[in-house]
Amino acid sequence: MAKLGRELKAQGFNVIDFSLGEPDFRTPDHIIKAAEHAMYDGFTKYTPVVGLPELRTAISKKLKRDNNLEYGIDEIIVSTGAKQSLANAILSLVNPGDEVLIPTPYWVTYSALVKLSEGKVKYINCTIDTDFKLTPAMLEEAISEETKAFIFSSPCNPTGSVYSQSELAGLAEVFKRYPNCFIISDEIYEYINYTGKHQSIAQFPELRDRVAVVNGMSKGFAMTGWRLGYLAAPKELVQACEKLQGQFTSGANSVTQRAAITALSDDLAPTYKMVEAFRERRDYVIGALKAMPGVKINYPEGAFYAFPNISSFFGKSDGTTTINNDEDFSMYLLHKAHVTSVWGSAFGEPNCIRLSFATSIENLKEGMLRISKALADLK
């Protein structure tokens, strides 16, 4: 969709992009300055495969400070983005034929990595009626002694749903009865949280030795292009990830690692300022979508996405274009309103589309107005 949007822009159309999952803010100045100092100080050489000891120490302290999680530096590995952290964990854990549970909607890379590992994905369908969140009863129905792994995110991309401590505790009770199931918890949107304190499923002592916490710098610090993620997990898994990463990419970027030390250790005020801007945008977008007849929307408590159910428009037409599915709907918005989105089937939910509100409030107001007018033409 981003590519199609760029093509329309090149033709002279004013396209508003709601497709990209990327903060529109600049990386905070103190982090940029730390990178500059690192280069002049000579931190431009190869790094250890697992990451600089100073960075892994900073990550360990961050996990204790923000999440009350105890991880030694030998239980932490730094990678070229959280996506590589996920890839390392899944490729290390999943063998051909292994069953992996993924609740839908989900970030598209989860299933792709399981397939690369020749595992079998078993989806658990979560709907807007449960705020797109998995319940213990749903997990109990899907899990078995044969389940090798479970992958989820909180806050969630694409729904913005956030699991509370009590909701995670309910899931933990189920996982306790299935000790062969490893849990991969994607927490990359940790700081983009409008409910208060982030909750990690790694907090439950009975699960701690079979949870991999994945996080990174992209979302909370507006460092998408810096490419740095990390994984905290049992030592044996970290060692397996190190073997894989040593052959794929080796150590992550040296300058980025030095900047990340500063980002994780210094004042988080710039991050919280970004979150407040996202909160204002969220409130505007959800309010605008709720006012559109036929649109059903949950209230995202994290991340920077709206994930409206637009299935009531299936079968409708503006006289020229007929909407048969979510892909048709996204293409209709692109060509009719010149607004980009991502169709929900990419995330395992074909009744929805994803709209990113990681853009200016001016763009959001114009984009919502265009969408409203385009929907009004569907009969």
List Cβ neighbours of 69 (8 Å cut-off, separation of 6 or more).
Answer: 63, 200, 202, 203, 213, 232
pLDDT at 68: 97
- Domain, as residue range, for 10: 2-21+270-376
pLDDT score at 111: 97
Domains: count for the chain: 2
| Residue 172 main-chain phi, psi, to 5 deg | -60, -35
DSSP class of residue 178 equals -
- Please say which residue of 198, 233, 265 terminates a domain: 265
Taken in order 107, 168, 58, 209, the sign of the CA dihedral is negative
Q: Are residues 205 and 293 in the same domain?
A: no
Rounded mean pLDDT, 7-13: 91
| Whole-angstrom distance, CA of residue 253 vs CA of residue 231 | 16
Mean pLDDT taken over the chain: 97
- 291 shares its domain with 362: yes
* Interior/surface letters 243-275, b for 16+ CB within 10 angstroms, e for the rest: ebbeeebebbbbbbbbbbbbbbbeebebbeebb
Helix %, strand %, coil % for the chain, to 5? 45, 15, 40
Q: Torsion angle of alpha carbons 61, 83, 217, 149, nearest 10°?
A: -40
Helix-helix angle 254-265:29-40, to 10 degrees: 140
Q: What is the mean pLDDT of residues 187-210?
A: 96
Q: Which residues of 92-129 are buried (b: 16+ CB within 10 A; e: fewer)?
A: bbbeeebbbbbbbbbbebbbebbeebebebbebebebe
What interhelical angle do 361-376 and 269-290 show, nearest 10?
Answer: 20
Confidence at residue 216, expressed as pLDDT on a 0 to 100 scale: 98
Q: In terms of domains, do 261 and 281 share one?
A: no
150-167, pLDDT tens digit by residue?
A: 999 999 999 999 999 999
- Picking from 115, 192, 118, 103, the residue whose alpha carbon sits closest to that of residue 151 is 103
The last residue of one of the domains, among 215, 233, 265, is 265
108 and 238 inside one domain? yes
CATH number of the domain where residue 352 is located? 3.90.1150.10
Residues 15 and 114 in one domain: no
Both tokens of 165, joined, read: 């401590």
Q: Can you read off the two tokens belonging to residue 212?
A: 């991999």
Structure-token pair, residue 342: 């991502």
67 and 153 housed in the same domain: yes
- Give the pLDDT band (50/70/90) at residue 178: very high
Q: Residue 360 has which token pair?
A: 């200016």
Give 94's contacts (C-beta < 8 A, 6+ positions apart): 100, 114, 117, 118, 119, 148, 149
Domain identity same for 68 and 145: yes
What confidence score (pLDDT) does residue 1 get?
A: 84
Q: Which of 16-25, 36-45, 72-81, 152-161 has the lowest mean pLDDT?
A: 16-25
pLDDT, average across residues 224-239: 98
Mean pLDDT, residues 29-45: 98
The pLDDT, as a whole number, for residue 17 is: 95
Section 101-112 average pLDDT: 97
Mean pLDDT, rounded, for 244-270: 97
222 and 168 within one domain? yes
pLDDT over threshold 90, residue 61:
yes
299-312 pLDDT per residue, tens? 999 999 999 999 99
What are the pLDDT digits (tens) for 80-101? 999 999 999 999 999 999 999 9
State whether 55 and 202 are in the same domain.
yes
Same-domain status, 235 and 177: yes
Residue 5: pLDDT above 90? no
Do both 169 and 276 map to the same domain?
A: no
pLDDT at 34 exceeding the cut of 90 = yes
Confidence label for 196 from pLDDT (cuts 50, 70 and 90): confident
Percent of the chain at pLDDT above 70?
100
- Of 211, 232, 265, the last residue of a domain is 265
- Would you call 73 helix, strand, or coil by DSSP? helix
Same domain, 93 and 240: yes
The pLDDT of 39-66, averaged and rounded, is 98
Mean pLDDT of 111-132: 97
CATH number of the domain within which 68 lies: 3.40.640.10
The mean pLDDT value for 219-224 works out to 98
